[in-house]
Chains A and B, each alone.
Chain A
Amino acid sequence: MDRNNDSPDPRQDGNPYDATDATERRGEATPTNQDAAAQSIGAGSPEDLPDDTFASRGAVKQTVGIGRKTESGSFVFPAFDDHHPPEKDLIDDCVHCGFCLPTCPTYVLFGEEMDSPRGRIYLMNKGLNEEPMNDQMVRHWDLCLGCMACVTACPSGVQYDKLIEATRGQVERRYERTPQDKAFREMIFQIFPYPNRLRLMAAPLKLYQRFGIGDALHKAGVMKLLPKRMRAMEALMPMLTEQQEVPEVTPAVGERRRRVGFIKGCVQRVFFSDVNAATVRVLAAEGCEVVAPKLQGCCGALSVHAGREQEFEGFARQLIDTFEGLELDNIIINAAGCGSTLKEYGYLLRDDPEYAQRASAFAEKVMDVTEFIQHLGPVAERSPLPVAAAYHDACHLAHAQGVRRQPRQTLKQIPGMEVREIKEAEICCGSAGIYNMVEPEPATELGDRKAKNVLNTGARMIVTSNPGCMLQIQASLKRMGHSMPMAHPMEVLDASIRGADVETLLAK
Chain B
Amino acid sequence: MQRDLLIRGMQDILGPEGVISEREQLRSYECDGLMNYRVIPELVVLPETAEQVQSVVKLCYDEGIPFVARGSGTGLSGGALPVESGVLIVLSRLRRILEVDIPNQRVVVEPGVINIWVSQEVAEEGYYYAPDPASQIVSSIGGNLAENSGGVHCLKYGFTTNHVMGAEIVLPDGTMVNVGGGKAADAPGYELLGAFVGSEGTLGIATKITLRIVRKPEAVRTLLAAFKDTEEAGGAVSGIIGGGIVPAAIEMMDSLCIEAVETAVHPGFPRAGAILIVELDGPAAEVEYQFQHTIKVCEENDASEVRIAEDDEERALFWKGRKAAFAAMGRIANDYYVQDSVVPRTELGAVLKRISELGAEYGMRVANVFHAGDGNLHPLVLYDNDVEGEAEKAEALAGDIVFTCLEHGGSLTGEHGIGEDKKKYMPKMFTTEDLDTMQLLRCAFDPHQICNPGKIFPTPRLCGERPGPFRMHPVQQAGLAENF
Contacts and interface: CB of A to CB of B under 8 A. Distances in A.
A47 B312 CA distance: 10
B168 interface: yes
Interface string B29-61: 101111100000000001010000000000000
B447 A46 contact: no
Contacts of B356: none
Contacts of B178: 23-26
A46 B220 contact: yes
Given A32-B99, A97-B74, A45 B177 contact: no
B479 A111 contact: no
Given A111-B95, A137-B24, 5 more contacts: A23-B177, A36-B99, A96-B35, A97-B33, A122-B28
Contact of A49 (B93, B220, B316): B316
A140 B29 CA distance: 14
> Most B CB atoms within 10 A — which of A33, A35, A99, A157?
A99
B138 A99 contact: yes
Interface string B87-122: 000101101111110000001100011101101110
Contacts of A3: 439, 443
Contacts of B173: 9, 11
Interface stretch (A58-66, A170-178, A213-221): A58-66
Interface of B: 15-18, 20, 22-25, 27-29, 31-35, 46, 48, 72-74, 90, 92-93, 95-100, 107-108, 112-114, 116-117, 119-121, 123-124, 128-130, 132, 135, 137-139, 152-153, 168, 171, 173, 175-179, 189, 192, 208, 216-217, 220, 249, 263-265, 279, 281, 313, 316, 319-320, 323-324, 326-331, 334-336, 386, 436, 439-440, 443, 447-449, 479
Interface size range of chain A in the complex: 35 or more
B331 A157 contact: yes
Nearest to B323: A49
Given A8-B447, A49-B137, A41 B121 contact: yes
Interface of A: 1, 3, 6-9, 11, 19-20, 22-26, 30-33, 35-37, 40-50, 53-55, 57, 59, 62, 64-65, 67-68, 92-99, 101-102, 111-114, 119, 122-123, 126, 130-131, 134, 136-137, 140, 154-158
Nearest to B22: A136
11 contacts: A9-B447, A20-B177, A26-B178, A40-B120, A46-B216, A64-B93, A68-B16, A95-B35, A111-B95, A112-B46, A113-B73
Contact of B179 (A23, A96, A130): A23
Contact of B31 (A65, A94, A96, A154): A96
B119 A44 contact: yes
B128 A46 contact: yes
Contacts of B189: 22
Q: Which interface residue of B73, B138, B189 has the most chain A CB atoms within 10 A?
A: B138
A179 B443 CA distance: 56
Contacts of A62: 17, 48, 93
A114 B88 CA distance: 14
A57 B117 contact: yes
A22 to B, nearest CB: 7
B439 A1 contact: yes
B116 A48 contact: yes
Nearest to A131: B24
A183 to B, nearest CB: 26
A156 B333 CA distance: 10
Which of B124, B281, B316: most chain A CB closer than 10 A? B316
A3 to B, nearest CB: 6
Given A23-B192, A111-B46, A113-B29, A50 B320 contact: yes
* A-B CB proximity, top 9 nearest: A156-B330, A45-B128, A155-B327, A65-B17, A45-B119, A111-B92, A64-B17, A155-B324, A44-B119
B135 A98 contact: yes
A4 B25 CA distance: 32
Contact of A43 (B28, B123, B135): B123
Nearest to B444: A19
A385 to B, nearest CB: 28
B152 to A, nearest CB: 7
B117 A7 contact: no
Contact of B443 (A1, A36, A47, A122): A1
Contact of A92 (B46, B90, B334, B448): B334
Contacts of A23: 177-179, 192
Contact of A130 (B25, B220, B479): B479
Residue picked from A7, A20, A23, most chain B C-beta under 10 Å: A23
Contacts of B328: 155-156
Contacts of B335: 95
A67 B171 CA distance: 31
Nearest to B15: A65
Contact of B72 (A64, A98, A131): A98
B461 to A, nearest CB: 15
Contacts of A67: 25
Contact of B326 (A30, A59, A68, A97): A97
Contacts of B99: 30-33, 36
A91 to B, nearest CB: 10
A9 B64 CA distance: 14
Contact of A102 (B33, B137, B208, B439): B137
Contacts of B33: 96-98
A36 B97 contact: yes
Contact of A98 (B24, B73, B100): B73
A97 B338 CA distance: 12
A59 B220 CA distance: 34
Contacts of A36: 97-100, 107, 121
Given A7-B447, A20-B175, A113-B28, A53 B108 contact: no
